[in-house]
Every structure is written in structure tokens, then in C-alpha cells.
A and B are shown apart, each in its own frame.
Chain A
């Protein structure tokens, strides 16, 4: 059974591969962070598929941003909790 279009996972992997040269020129420590960003974006592949934009990378960037912001909120809350404890 063939597919006319690549699946979202395939499109995602293609985009990731397209940045192979970019990744290669990064420091090892930065490479790992980049991998983390891509991994976090994978959590929203279903939404990206449903959105079906012609340029998937835009959606992938938004997925990364979403996970980053979640982390920011979590940390902010954590800081406030600690501050609450100190007061």
C-alpha cells in the first residue's frame, strides 16, 4: 500500500536531516541541546499532522517553542513555590 504523501513523521525526519550540516558545526554540548529540541517537538506530531501546513518546519518550530514555554512556566511556578517557602 503506497502513500501519495509522506507521513508527518517522515516529513519531520526529513526536516531534521536537512539540518545535519548545521548540527555538525555545533559544539558537542550544543548538539545535544538541539537533539533535545527536536525530541520535544515530536510530542506534537499529531497536531502538526492535523494542521497539514504546506511547510511543516514552521509547525515544528512552533512545537519546540510550545515545549520551551511549558518548561518556563513550570520553572517559574517552581521558583514561586520556593520563594513562598522562604517567606
Chain B
């Protein structure tokens, strides 16, 4: 009889190794089990018969010895198609073989060729990182069967007791040379001196052996700390057990710079460990938005390995979810996108190439304003109206509504999104009325942030040029439905006697004399839902809100520049200095203080008094500035380099600072942030991260004074405040004239 043992625990990691898959399980017994599994992987090739025949011949002569077969599989757009199936018993061989064949036969169409191993495993067994699994193994820890007992869509989660240690140098290594590293374990916090190197490494070795962490959480670990430690270990030839799996090399991924949404983004190099995780909080995308809990949630939902998901944009996450849905449903995943935009006339292009509806708000201060938002508007539209690249019927419009039409069967995108939307709404409902001190509050907040990012990017991915399941007509259909929904919301509000102050893609600001309780708006919310069939919610009621004009022309409104105070006292602002990354800290703090003061203003009768108070504050700040009482680090400006230093024709302040750093041997790439201070004389700028001592006497005080004055024109915007608070009638007039 074959020996079989059952293990129960949480899946930590899986990756291909030399004889199949390595799987790490954190057992309920507290042990970390290293398991192995035989796991065959397949890719498919389509194309003209003669070419496929040649490919078959070529493949059968290859050393990997793939198993070949002719099959029929489903393509998302063209339905069942004949394909050549290529199966490899060793997952590691697939990328090797595929890399060669795609060069020998570049004209063939490849499917399922470049899919992450964890996604394949997820599609076959339903596994995902941190899933609760029951695994049957033989005496050599070879997996015979896996059963997943949990679901990523569960609200209540069983979270594994992870061993975490954090490591961080005592200063930002880009700013100064660190001398020691702080280490925090579950029990203690201590530091290890980096010199002498051997003593440091021996100390670190002891920590790793003693605590055997599942996660090493570092600051600057990807770009500085781990490369430095690995270099030291190599020089002193000391065996440092950074990897839990001693047979695997430590994986480096190169730094890269790319464009996204009109911005240049830089991702530092990455260091991935095997058998345990390494996350660098400074290289983890949006770690500050959704913390570790958010990362776990993203890993669960997307089935991407934890170390990967911590560092990729949520866009990669949503496309992974689509891939898993496709694999599970037996739909081929194309290697390259194949759907080009359909032909259309110029007039049709003008009609369809539109974004969300963005209104121009009524400038000025307004009292008792309710903000009503559609919940996850675009994903809800995709799920509710079945918008997916394969369901959209280009050029066909519904004669009644003028909206794009879709076919009957539920599409790939709605199938992927539905459970995610359900979970998001369920968690949001839990959060309503939950005390901030509830033990689940932080967890739900982090999960909610992760869901939000996944949903936000899923719309963009319909139109993204490299998205495998993208189609521009589907992307346009979503915005068409969005505009329709917002206009119906506006009409509903006006029918019910509300004044619409502003609309922005998925939100609307309304006012009606005498209404200030949240229940006053229930009927409006209900009626809009009836007319649009989309979920929406009252975001809150502002005591007052101020829509700001353009800087260039005081009469021209700007869509996304406002600040306001909710009845709860919470401040919401968009597009003002406080929200910008390149505002020096002292200005952001001053603006925050000013808003805090205004937030306490009980009524418009007292406004003048409070405005005077804010001006006193600004005057005091100016005085501090003149007398050098503001610490230089609060004057530092952070800007992103948009191109390489030598590419600037007219060097900006950021470029000059980056050049100074280059001369000091610190090289920045486009998308990286440069910090600097404005100084007197030439060149007027000094990089903050130069090693020499900074002389505070060189600070260009007059320039900072100009910045402060400019900010004071945004807020409190005295003239606007005084002029408009009583003038809501101005835009009522056209209504009365109807």
C-alpha cells in the first residue's frame, strides 16, 4: 500500500524547480513544509495548416520532447478553432521552448504561452496565496492531491500566523551612507552595525536561523539593503540563508521605466526570495494605501505570488484575474493582443471617442451640499450591462437609448468582475457604522482599498494597447453608459427640485434649500438608482464646499479643484497644494492648518472672523520663514524626473538638482524623484541628497515667500468666499425662467 499523509495549512508560495513544482505550505502544525508536485503545462499554436505541420516537425526534434496533439479549443472572438497542443512535463521547459519556437515561427499565433505558473495552478486546483489547503503527500513529500478549503471571496478569513522580521538602515541610503541596520522581530528590536562586515553577516545569519521568517519586510531592500548584503556575503564567502529553499538562486529583476497615464514611472530593481517573501515597502506599489493586509488581499484575489503582487500595478492584477477566468472556462489566452479598432467614419469617431462627463462647477462657496457617488461606476456598468470585448456589437446602437448593444451570453469581463463587486459591496456594508476601534476595521479598510484599485484599473485595461482581452469599442461603450447614467442622475435631481452644482464622471454635488440631513436625500438616491440601475450612495453632506476657479482666469471654473468640510468635520480637498506631491512640507502643513480652522467656522456670519484668523497664521509662517525658524527639510521640494538629465533642453530646477547628484556619483533615471531646495544666486537650486553639509543661510527666502503668497490666493480665497456664499440664486435664475 502506498504511504499517504494528509497535511493541512496555508499555501505560501509555489514556483517551478528542476523536477516540477516546489510548494511551500505553512502547516497548521506550525511547521513549514517544502512539497513537490508533478505539473505538466501546455501552450497552443494556431495558424495555416502547412505552417503548423512544419512547427510539429520542428517541435518533435527538440530536446524537451513535448507531447504534441491536434485539438479544438475556444478563442474568445472566433469561437472553436483547430490548434496544435504542446505539452511539457517540466514547467521550467515551457519558457525555454517557447522562447525558441516564437523566433523560428514568428508568424504563428500562440496561446497560453506566457502565463505565470501560479495562475495555471490556480485555474487547475483553485489555489491562491494564503489559501487554506489540504494536501495529500507521499513519503517523499510528493503531492498526490490538493483540496482548497477556502475561497478568496470569503469575507471571514483564516489568516496564517506569519513570522515577520523587518530590516531597515538607520538613514535613507540615498541621502547618506547608513552605518547600521535596525532589525525588528516579534520579540525585540535591535541594531546590527554594518562594519565589520563579517560580524554583521554572522549576526544576521543567527537571526535568520533562529526566527526563520516567512516574510522579510525591508526599507530600501530591493535597491540597496539586500544587494549590499548579498555583495558582502559573496566577498566574505559566508553562507547566508536568505532563501529558505537552498537549491534556488536569489532572483533579481531589473529596474525599468515606463509611461502610464501621461506620467513617467520608475520601478527599482527587485529581489525575490524562494520559500519566503521579501517585500521592500519603498518599492511596493501603493503599500502606503493598502498596507500588508491589502497585499495579502490582492494576492488572494489575483492568484499572483505575494512577492510579485506587492510590486506590480493593480492593472497586472486585474488582467491576471481575467486570465484565470479564461483558463478555467477553457478559453485560449492570446500571447499578443489581436483585436484592432474597427473601421469607422470620422463623425462616428468624434461621437464615440469621448471620456467620462466632466462638468464645470459653479465657482464659489456653497452651503449644505450633498455629494452622491456611483459605487464603482465603470465596473458596475460592465457587470450590469454585460460589456466585454467579445459581447460588444460594434456600430449597433439601441434605438431607444442610443447606447451600444451587446450579445446575450455573459462575457468574460463581467464574469471576472461580478464576485469582486459583490465582495466589495459586502465589505463596504460591513464598514458602514463600524467603530474605528473594531478589530476588523483596519483589515476591511485595507481590503476595500485593494478592491478599489483593482476595479479602477479594470476599465483602463479594456482600452489598453497591450491588454490581451481589450477592445476599444468595449472601452468606449463603458464611457457611453457612464455619461448616460450621470445625465439621468442630473435630470432626476432637477426633476426633484435640486440644484446641481457639479458633476464629475461618477459623482454629483447637489443642493436644495432646507435639506441637510442624510435621510433628506434618500428619495433622490433611490430614484436615481431606479432610473440608472446602478449602485450609488450618499458620500456625505458638506457644511460648505468651495469650488475654485482657474489660476489664470478667475471666471473660469476648473473641474477638480475644490475643498469642503463634511458635517462630520472631515475635510475633503482635491487639486489644491496640499494634495500635490511637489508642495514643500511647510506649505502643506500651513494649508492643512488653515483648513482645520475653517472647518470649525459655525456659520457664514462668522466667516470673516475665521478668515482673519487664517491670515494671522499665514503672517506668522512668513515671519518664521524670514527668521530661519523653519527647518530646511520642510522646504524641500520633491519632483519626478520626466526624462534623463542630458535630455533636458532647458534644464528645470529638478534637472539641475539631478545633475548635481550625477556629479556626486548618484545617478537618477526618468520616473525617479529628485529632492531639492531653492537657493540664492546661481544655479538657484541645490540637491537635497548631496553629502556635504547644507548651509541654511543660502536658502532663497524671497522665492519661498512667493510660493506662500501664491498658496494664500487659493485658500481661503477671501473674495470668492465673501462674494458667493449668498449668491446661490445666481444660477437659479435660468430655472425660474423656464
A residues with CB within 8 A of B: 1, 3-5, 7, 36, 39-40, 42-46, 49-50, 52-54, 70, 73-74, 77
From B350-358, B514-522, B701-709, give the one contacting chain A.
B350-358
A1-B262, A46-B359 known; A74-B353 Cβ under 8 A: no
Q: Do the beta carbons of B350 and A52 come within 8 Å of each other?
A: yes
Q: Do the beta carbons of A39 and B553 come within 8 Å of each other?
A: yes
A45-B360, A46-B358, A70-B733 known; A5-B350 Cβ under 8 A: yes
Task: Kindly provide the distance from the CB of B550 to the nearest chain A CB, expressed in whole angstroms.
Answer: 9
Task: Kindly provide the distance from the CB of A52 to the nearest chain B CB, expressed in whole angstroms.
Answer: 5
A52-B350, A54-B350 known; A43-B360 Cβ under 8 A: yes
A70 to B730, CA, bound (A): 9
Q: Do the beta carbons of B350 and A77 come within 8 Å of each other?
A: no
By a CB distance below 8 angstroms, the chain A residues around B483 are 50
Within 8 A of A (CB), among B305-327: none
Name A49's closest neighbour in chain B (CB-CB). B354
Q: Do the beta carbons of A42 and B359 come within 8 Å of each other?
A: no
Task: Kindly provide the distance from the CB of B222 to the nearest chain A CB, expressed in whole angstroms.
Answer: 27
Task: Kindly provide the distance from the CB of B206 to the nearest chain A CB, expressed in whole angstroms.
Answer: 50
A-B contact list, 13 entries, CB within 8 Å? A1-B260, A3-B353, A5-B349, A40-B555, A42-B556, A43-B556, A44-B360, A46-B357, A46-B360, A49-B354, A50-B357, A54-B347, A70-B733
Task: Kindly provide the distance from the CB of A60 to the nearest chain B CB, expressed in whole angstroms.
Answer: 14
Contacts A43-B556, A54-B346 aside, 19 further interface pairs with beta carbons under 8 A come to A1-B261, A1-B262, A3-B353, A4-B353, A5-B349, A5-B353, A42-B556, A44-B360, A45-B360, A46-B357, A46-B360, A49-B354, A49-B357, A50-B354, A50-B357, A52-B354, A73-B734, A73-B737, A74-B733
By a CB distance below 8 angstroms, the chain A residues around B360 are 42-46
By a CB distance below 8 angstroms, the chain B residues around A42 are 360, 556-557
Task: Kindly provide the distance from the CB of B726 to the nearest chain A CB, expressed in whole angstroms.
Answer: 15
With a 10 A CB-CB cut-off, give which of A42, A46, A50, A52 has the most chain B CB atoms.
Answer: A46
A77 to B734, CA, bound (A): 11
Which 6 pairs from chain A and chain B are nearest by CB? A46-B359, A39-B555, A43-B360, A5-B353, A42-B556, A73-B737
By a CB distance below 8 angstroms, the chain B residues around A70 are 733-734
By a CB distance below 8 angstroms, the chain A residues around B260 are 1
By a CB distance below 8 angstroms, the chain A residues around B351 are 52
Name A40's closest neighbour in chain B (CB-CB). B555
Within 8 A of A (CB), among B497-522: 503
Q: Do the beta carbons of A73 and B733 come within 8 Å of each other?
A: yes
With a 10 A CB-CB cut-off, give which of B346, B351, B487, B733 has the most chain A CB atoms.
Answer: B733
A46 to B323, CA, bound (A): 37
A7 to B355, CA, bound (A): 9
A40 to B360, CA, bound (A): 11
A36 to B555, CA, bound (A): 8
Name B260's closest neighbour in chain A (CB-CB). A1
By a CB distance below 8 angstroms, the chain A residues around B503 are 46
Task: Kindly provide the distance from the CB of A45 to the nearest chain B CB, expressed in whole angstroms.
Answer: 6
A39 to B555, CA, bound (A): 7
Interface size bracket, B side = 20 to 34
By a CB distance below 8 angstroms, the chain A residues around B358 are 46, 49
Within 8 A of A (CB), among B339-388: 346-347, 349-351, 353-355, 357-360
By a CB distance below 8 angstroms, the chain A residues around B353 are 3-5
By a CB distance below 8 angstroms, the chain B residues around A1 are 259-262
By a CB distance below 8 angstroms, the chain A residues around B350 are 5, 52-54
Q: Do the beta carbons of A4 and B349 come within 8 Å of each other?
A: yes
A53 to B354, CA, bound (A): 12
By a CB distance below 8 angstroms, the chain B residues around A46 are 357-360, 503
A52 to B348, CA, bound (A): 10
By a CB distance below 8 angstroms, the chain B residues around A7 are 355
A73 to B730, CA, bound (A): 11
By a CB distance below 8 angstroms, the chain A residues around B261 are 1
Residues 531-547 of B, flagged 1 when their CB comes within 8 A of A and 0 if not, give 00000000000000000
A14 to B242, CA, bound (A): 59
Q: Do the beta carbons of A77 and B733 come within 8 Å of each other?
A: yes
Task: Kindly provide the distance from the CB of A1 to the nearest chain B CB, expressed in whole angstroms.
Answer: 6
Name B557's closest neighbour in chain A (CB-CB). A43
Task: Kindly provide the distance from the CB of B354 to the nearest chain A CB, expressed in whole angstroms.
Answer: 6
By a CB distance below 8 angstroms, the chain B residues around A36 are 555
A54 to B556, CA, bound (A): 24
Name B737's closest neighbour in chain A (CB-CB). A73
By a CB distance below 8 angstroms, the chain B residues around A52 are 350-351, 354
A54 to B345, CA, bound (A): 12
By a CB distance below 8 angstroms, the chain B residues around A45 are 360
Name B261's closest neighbour in chain A (CB-CB). A1
A36 to B401, CA, bound (A): 37
By a CB distance below 8 angstroms, the chain B residues around A40 are 555
Name A70's closest neighbour in chain B (CB-CB). B734
A20 to B262, CA, bound (A): 29
Name A56's closest neighbour in chain B (CB-CB). B350
By a CB distance below 8 angstroms, the chain A residues around B355 are 7
Task: Kindly provide the distance from the CB of B262 to the nearest chain A CB, expressed in whole angstroms.
Answer: 6
By a CB distance below 8 angstroms, the chain B residues around A74 are 730, 733
Task: Kindly provide the distance from the CB of B327 to the nearest chain A CB, expressed in whole angstroms.
Answer: 29
By a CB distance below 8 angstroms, the chain B residues around A50 are 354, 357, 483, 487
By a CB distance below 8 angstroms, the chain A residues around B737 are 73
A54 to B346, CA, bound (A): 9
A1 to B261, CA, bound (A): 6
By a CB distance below 8 angstroms, the chain A residues around B487 are 50
By a CB distance below 8 angstroms, the chain A residues around B557 are 42-43
Within 8 A of A (CB), among B700-738: 730, 733-734, 737
Task: Kindly provide the distance from the CB of B728 to the nearest chain A CB, expressed in whole angstroms.
Answer: 13
A14 to B360, CA, bound (A): 19
Task: Kindly provide the distance from the CB of B575 to the nearest chain A CB, expressed in whole angstroms.
Answer: 15
By a CB distance below 8 angstroms, the chain A residues around B259 are 1
Name B549's closest neighbour in chain A (CB-CB). A39
By a CB distance below 8 angstroms, the chain B residues around A39 are 553, 555-556
By a CB distance below 8 angstroms, the chain A residues around B730 are 74
Task: Kindly provide the distance from the CB of B738 to the nearest chain A CB, expressed in whole angstroms.
Answer: 11
Name A8's closest neighbour in chain B (CB-CB). B354
Task: Kindly provide the distance from the CB of B458 to the nearest chain A CB, expressed in whole angstroms.
Answer: 16
A1 to B357, CA, bound (A): 19
A54 to B347, CA, bound (A): 7
A39 to B487, CA, bound (A): 24
A74 to B357, CA, bound (A): 28
Name A74's closest neighbour in chain B (CB-CB). B733
A36 to B346, CA, bound (A): 32
Task: Kindly provide the distance from the CB of B492 to the nearest chain A CB, expressed in whole angstroms.
Answer: 17
Within 8 A of A (CB), among B464-518: 483, 487, 503
By a CB distance below 8 angstroms, the chain B residues around A44 are 360
By a CB distance below 8 angstroms, the chain A residues around B733 are 70, 73-74, 77
A50 to B503, CA, bound (A): 13
Task: Kindly provide the distance from the CB of B562 to the nearest chain A CB, expressed in whole angstroms.
Answer: 16
A71 to B253, CA, bound (A): 63
A4 to B260, CA, bound (A): 17
Task: Kindly provide the distance from the CB of A59 to the nearest chain B CB, expressed in whole angstroms.
Answer: 12
Task: Kindly provide the distance from the CB of B31 to the nearest chain A CB, expressed in whole angstroms.
Answer: 49
A46 to B357, CA, bound (A): 6
